[in-house]
Structure 1
Amino acid sequence: MLADRMNIFIFTKQDEDSLSKKEIVIEAMQHEGFKVVEQSEDANIIISIGNDGTFLQAVRKTNFRQDCLYAGIYSEGRQAMYCDFHYNNLHEMVLAIRKADIEVRRYPLIEASIDNQQTFYCLNEFSIRSNIIRTFVVDVIIDDKLFETFLGDGLIISTPTGSTAYNKSVRGAVVDPFLPCFQVTELASVNNNTYRTLGSPFILSGDRKLRLHVHQDGNDFPSVAMDNEAIGVRRVVDVEIGLSDKVIKTVKLKHNSFWEKVQRIYL
């Protein structure tokens, strides 16, 4: 039961204001009988304080734990996509857990492997972009068959929940997280007699495998990012991407679905 989960790890930024808020949250949690632990490995609930970016960092820095729940507290402004609870109403979160008045939301992850050496997980998106003021060329291969050869600034591969982030800002589709899939969206593609792409975002089933082959033409040091964190890789030739078997379990309030959040934030 969720009420049996009593060990809490709190993740936040290290600035003075965030650390001050963290101390208040710790005091509130301890007052309600929760144990606040120093190491994330000892927790069965991981709480982030801040915004969606902080939540993404909390998930990544705690290694995408499969055996615990994540909860997001937004400390200013309106509710975000990953943060259901407000810093000024911590009692709501405590009461929700105590009364089991919460639901567990399962968010899919995508898995990206770079040159068969490093594997990364993404809750929002994987992005690959030219690192210099020049376009680069990428073969887009679906299930081992060449689909298109892309010339442009870059590509974004997003999860359904990540579809509302960077992907949406470049006119990608917003995708229901109940659908096991991932989306490919172009950044400033160039279409001419030599290079031709679909020219619109497209959605792949979770059973599909995507491979991006970077042409080694002098612009083969692209910028690679997982969610909101750049990855320090020097040369990239092949990136294999697919929907992971792993999911992130998050705490949500009832009557606060993904689409209710989309409506509240964007409409």
Structure 2
Amino acid sequence: MNYAVASRGDSISDALVEQIIRSLNEFGLTENKEEPEIVISVGGDGTLLQAFHDYSHRLEETAFVGVHTGHLGFYADWIPDEVENLIIHIAKTPFQVVEYPLLEVVVRYADGSTPRRYLALNEATVKNSQGSSLVCNVEIKGETFETFRGDGLCISTPSGSTAYNKALGGAILHPSLASLQISEMASINNRVYRTIGSPLVLPQHHTCLLKLIQNDDVQVTIDHHTINHQEIASIQCRVAEEQIRFARFRPFPFWKRVKESFISE
């Protein structure tokens, strides 16, 4: 089996990476950064997010597993003391594949240039890059739902609902629900502008379209990648056809993960 290892880059993570590579090679596995069947992320959730984007072109062939070397990582099942057991599992045990929904984001431009398509594991956020308010029409299933004015909008996946979305007061969604969630950032509500004021959860077959009214520079952030776009006409969000595949070698229920991340000491 081909594998690749991604590191956060600190001394603890790098030492674990060396141990993992040495041990897996001794078991007869092959390090292949171009076409891995499994990617081992060593660090935090940011490390796994980067690994996801590095291999987003081969999601059907690649599964991910995380080792956290700092605070508890939401996507990481393993701790450094368990690395030897993880290595044996990878080398000797067929893993179960658990799939999580992803977010598809398509940015279209006012000048008719080629749209850009992105995938997000956690979320996409849309703000005005000049620090002023974002003003846009929000369409759901082709019908105008509201005119939004405020700091911005966060569109999250179910697994990403525990990240920025949660900080905005959004609900935590189980990843078995193929859906997306729209949460507001400091919306303005007065006699001119009126928004729903609550997070919206859309099912898989619904599409959200943000049509920019004030066509200023817009900052679109896909997970931890920020892109400044000019002359955007619209931003389309929906549940992607692709999914991320996680390699599970033991049960780790989602709600247990939530509890350990936010409640248990």
**One fold, TM greater than 0.5?**
yes
- Which amino acid in the other structure matches residue 146 of structure 1? T
Matched, 1:197 2:192: no
* Residue 47 (str. 1) matches residue 40 (str. 2): yes
Question: 2:44 touches 2:71 (CA, 8 Å); kept in 1?
Answer: no
Matching residue of 1:233: 229
Offset of residue 54 of structure 1: 0.6
* Amino acid across the alignment from 1:100: T
Deviations 1:2-26 (A, max 9, x none): xxxx211112244555434322221
- Residue 7 (str. 1) matches residue 7 (str. 2): no
- SS of 2:56's partner is coil
Question: Residue 29 of structure 1 is aligned with which of 18, 24, 30?
Answer: 24
Structure 2 CA distance, aligned partners of 1:14 and 1:179? 34
- Assess, with a 3 A threshold, how the Cα gap between structure 1 residues 222 and 255 changes in structure 2: closer, same or farther: same
1:76 aligns with 2:74: no
8 Å contact 2:3–2:29 — kept in the other structure?
Answer: yes
By how many angstroms is 1:90 displaced? 1.2
Measured on the aligned residues, the alpha-carbon RMSD in Å equals: 1.8
Deviation at 1:110, TM superposition (A): 1.0
The CA distance in 2 between the partners of 1:231 and 1:72, in whole Å, is 27
Distance 1:243 1:54 in 2: 23
* Cα 1:87/1:34, change in 2 over 3 Å: farther
**Is residue 20–residue 87 contact of structure 2 (8 Å, CA) maintained in 1?**
no
How high is the sequence identity, in percent, across the aligned residues? 31
| Structure 2 stretches lacking a partner, 5+ long | 109-113
Map residues 101-250 of structure 1 onto 2, 5 A cutoff. 102-115=95-108, 117-216=115-214, 220-250=216-246
Q: TM-score, normalized by length of structure 2?
A: 0.91
Q: In 2, are the aligned partners of 1:120 and 1:226 still within 8 Å (CA)?
A: yes
Q: Is the 8 A contact 1:47 1:70 kept in 2?
A: yes
Q: Aligned partners of 1:13 and 1:94: how far apart in 2?
A: 19
- TM-score in terms of structure 1 length: 0.90
Contact in 2 for aligned 1:85/1:92 (Cα 8 Å): no
Letter in 2 for 1:261: R
